[in-house]
Every structure is written in C-alpha cells, then in structure tokens.
Amino acid sequence: MGIVASKPWGGVFAEATDRRVEKFTESVSFDRRLYAQDIRGSIAHVEMLAKVGLVSAEECQQIIAGLEAIRGEIEQGTFAFRIELEDVHMHIEKALIDRLGDVGRKLHTGRSRNDQVSTDLRLWVREAIDTVNGRLVDLQAAFVSRCAADRDCILPGYTHTQRAQPVLAPHYWLAYCEKFERDRQRLADCRRRVNTLTLGTAALAGTTLPIDRHDVARRLGFEAVAGNSLDASSDRDFALEFAFVLSLVGEHLSTWAEEWILWSTSEFRFLKLPQAFCTGSSIMPQKINPDVLELVRGKTARLVGNVTRLQVLLKGLPLAYNRDLQEDKEAIFDSYDTVVACLEVAAPLVAGATLNRDAIAAGLDRGYLDATTLMEWLIKRNVPQRTAHEIVGRLVRKATEREVPLAGLALNEFQEIHAAIDPSIYEILGAERAIAAFQSYGSTAPQEVDRQIALWTERLQSTPTSAS
C-alpha cells in the first residue's frame, strides 16, 4: 500500500497530499447534492457489469444492497463526509469498499470519475428540468386563473413606458404565459440533449472491457448513447444550455417584476400586491414595499452571471476531461435554486394581487390610447395611412391644447382638420370603444382575448402542474 492509501488514486504517490490542496480541490461540500444520482448510476452500472459477466450475480446483489444502505445513511444524516475524499463519488465508493472489501473494489470497473460525474450531472439536470417545468406551469396557471375575473378590465398598453393603446388585462396575463411557454419548450429541447448516456466512455478513450453501454442507457432512461468518448467526457454544453434557459426564465420574470413594481406605485396605482408578499421599512412606518418583486428582478443577475461563468469556464478547454469542469456544478445548482425560489413566490403573488379598477378606469382618458384606432378608422374610409397619421396627429395636438380627450372634441373641430369626418367617429373613441374595434388575430380584441383564454385554459388542463 502507498503512503496515500486512503485515496482511491493513491498507489502511485510517495508523498501525502498537502492539507491545503485537499481543501482547495474538494468538491464534496457542494457535489454531495448528487448522491442519489451517483447511487442510481452505480446501480445501473453494476447491473450491467453482472449482465456481461464482469461481476457475479452475487457480487452485484451485495453491491446494490451496500449502495442502498449508504443512501439510507446519507438520507438519515449519519454519513460522514470529509474533504480528504474529495467528492461525493469517492465517498460513496470508499464507504462501499469499507463495507464489502474486495467486492466493493469492483464497482469502478469500466468507468472513471470523468464519465461518472457527467452521468450524475445529467441525471440531476434531467430531474431539475422536470421540476422547473412544473413550476413554470404553476405560474402560467396563476396568470390564467386571473383571466375570467379581470376579463373586462382595460389597461393602458405601453411602448417606451408611454401610454400607447388600450389592452385588456388578460391580454397582459397571457403575454407572460406565452413567454413562459417558450421557456418550457426550450427546457424540453435542452432535455433531449441532456438525456444522453455518457457513462462507459471511461476516462476519455473508452474501455477494453466488454461493457454494454446501451444496456446502461436503458436502465437509466437515457434516450441516446454518446457516440464519441472524447466528446462525451468533455461535453458540458448541456449544463450551459440549461443555465441559459434558466437565465431566460429570469429575464421574463424580471420583466414581469419590473412591470408590477411600477404598477403598484402610488403614481400608477394599477395594482395592489398581497400584503403577505410585501415587506415593510424599519424606519418609515407607512411603507409596504414590493421587496419580493425586487428580489425576483435582482436575482436575475445571478442567472445571467452563471451563464457567463460557464461560458468562460468552457472556453478554450482542451479535450477531454479537465479539472476545471468541477466548477460547473455550483453555477448550475445556483441557477436552479434561484429559479425555483423565484417561481415559488411568483405564482401565489400573481394569483393574489388585485387590480385597482377604479384608478385604472379613471386614468384611461389620458394618453390618447384611441388615437391609433382613430387613424385606422380613417384608413377604412380610404384615407392613405400617412395622411391619416398626420390628421390624427393634428387632432391630438388640438385636443392637447384644449386639455380634452379626443372624444371631447366637437364634430366641427374634427371637420376643421378633415372635412369628411362624420358623427360615427364617436363610435370608436374612448378606450372601451377602441378595444371593441380591434379585430386582427392575436390582438387585444375581446373575441381574440376570449380565444386565448379558452386556449390556455384547455392547454393547462392537460398539463401537469408541480403538485400533480
């Protein structure tokens, strides 16, 4: 036995590892989170080893029982983690050898930690994707749950944060559903590439042993088997993709959070946030602050940062495994924890907020939300678009001078600017009438909003939420 007998790789070493190096190189403080995936992967691996005759059926049973006992210890909190054993993979293997002696020493046949860690991470990300997906559905369901009650509430729609055109409240809610739906699609697409077996690529070149990788893939539910060992042991595209998709979830959440922070101010007064999702000030007694929304917005920084972290980590790494790759996990864990935490507070906050209908309605006459509808009314009467734009621009100028909405101008005032305007113009003026005039597919027209509500209600009925 070498001087570093406590290490699975200790044979060649004549000098003990410096304590500072053990502290510097360890990953068990964070990768212990992969214990269940590691044990699951090892069980599939040893079952395959038994199938191809590299271990006996009896040895296989002993190893599986040992691994399950170790899982029990970890779950009960009685398992001792110590940094000399570097990572979760070596801990579990060492514990197995302590239990089983030579039989335990067979588990690592035909694999290396390089493919083991990649496999564990893929199993973990696959589950993480499913969890995030469920939480996204919860949030979509929260938006959809508001639609019926808010159906007739007209809000100003904005461009450049300036009042633009009227929009029905559910049109806003379902806009977010669309964004989160694309995130779900991206997750599903990412999952396809995650769901590839890398185990059995061994260190980098494969193995001379008669392993059956397709058998392991079936046992672990992987849809494909990585076809090039060099690529597979170096590949962290899936981690970067996952982090990127989560960063995009964050972008969407931060847009929503920002909007609702504005809407809940006393300047806007569109929205009352549920008090259970607000916090107060230690000095200003009157304050009810949207800290939850601000943190959702703020935490997006981490999600974007983690993408950058992984991109820089992977840039310029030569094939195949390099220890740099150990740095991938914390970025992914952090992005996952952050997104799940945000989604868990976002859904009840969305469901629990109330629209301040009176304040919203009182302000709808401001901002000439009906100006574009008026322009289109002229276009329908064969006025060229550029001319109609000019006419309405002049009408808005006149109304602004008189400090009235467009509907506040008298017919002769309209006719001074465009003689062909007749009294039917008043049928489309005002936010409510302007809304009714919309008709294009995907617009905020009442019938289009109803189509969307029906579609999302049906879609979510057939989609499992995180609770189901």
Summarize as ranges the residues that interact with ligand ARG (CB under 6 A). 27, 31, 87, 113-114, 117, 321, 323, 325-326
Is the Cβ of residue 90 or residue 409 nearer to ligand ARG in the bound state? 90
- Alpha-helical (H) ranges within 101-224 are 113-150, 169-194, 213-220
Is the Cβ of residue 113 or residue 171 nearer to ligand ARG in the bound state? 113
- Provide the residue type at 188 as one letter: A
Reported in sequence order, the residue ranges of 169-286 that DSSP labels E, i.e. its strands, are 196-197, 224-225, 271-272
Separation of alpha carbons 282 and 132, rounded Å: 35
Number of neighbouring beta carbons within 10 Å of residue 345:
14
160 is catalytic: yes
Query: Whole-number minimum distance, CB 226 to ligand ARG, in Å?
Result: 17
Query: Whole-number minimum distance, CB 82 to ligand ARG, in Å?
Result: 15
418 is catalytic: no
Number of neighbouring beta carbons within 10 Å of residue 343:
23
Q: Considering the candidates 160, 266, 440, 462, report the single residue annotated as catalytic.
A: 160
Number of neighbouring beta carbons within 10 Å of residue 418:
18
Query: Whole-number minimum distance, CB 114 to ligand ARG, in Å?
Result: 5
Separation of alpha carbons 332 and 462, rounded Å: 30
Tell me the two tokens of residue 17.
């590892």
Please name the residues in contact with 411: beta carbons below 8 A apart, sequence gap of 6 or more: 421, 422, 423, 425
Residues forming beta bridges with residue 224, ordered by sequence position: 196
Query: Whole-number minimum distance, CB 88 to ligand ARG, in Å?
Result: 8
Q: Considering the candidates 6, 45, 171, 281, report the single residue annotated as catalytic.
A: 281
Is the Cβ of residue 202 or residue 248 nearer to ligand ARG in the bound state? 202
Is the Cβ of residue 83 or residue 345 nearer to ligand ARG in the bound state? 83
Separation of alpha carbons 134 and 339, rounded Å: 12
Residues for the chain: how many in total? 468
Cβ–Cβ < 8 Å for 2, 10? yes
Query: Whole-number minimum distance, CB 158 to ligand ARG, in Å?
Result: 47
Separation of alpha carbons 342 and 300, rounded Å: 9
Is the Cβ of residue 140 or residue 201 nearer to ligand ARG in the bound state? 201
Separation of alpha carbons 247 and 73, rounded Å: 35
Is the Cβ of residue 32 or residue 163 nearer to ligand ARG in the bound state? 32
Query: Whole-number minimum distance, CB 165 to ligand ARG, in Å?
Result: 53
| Catalytic residue list | 160, 281
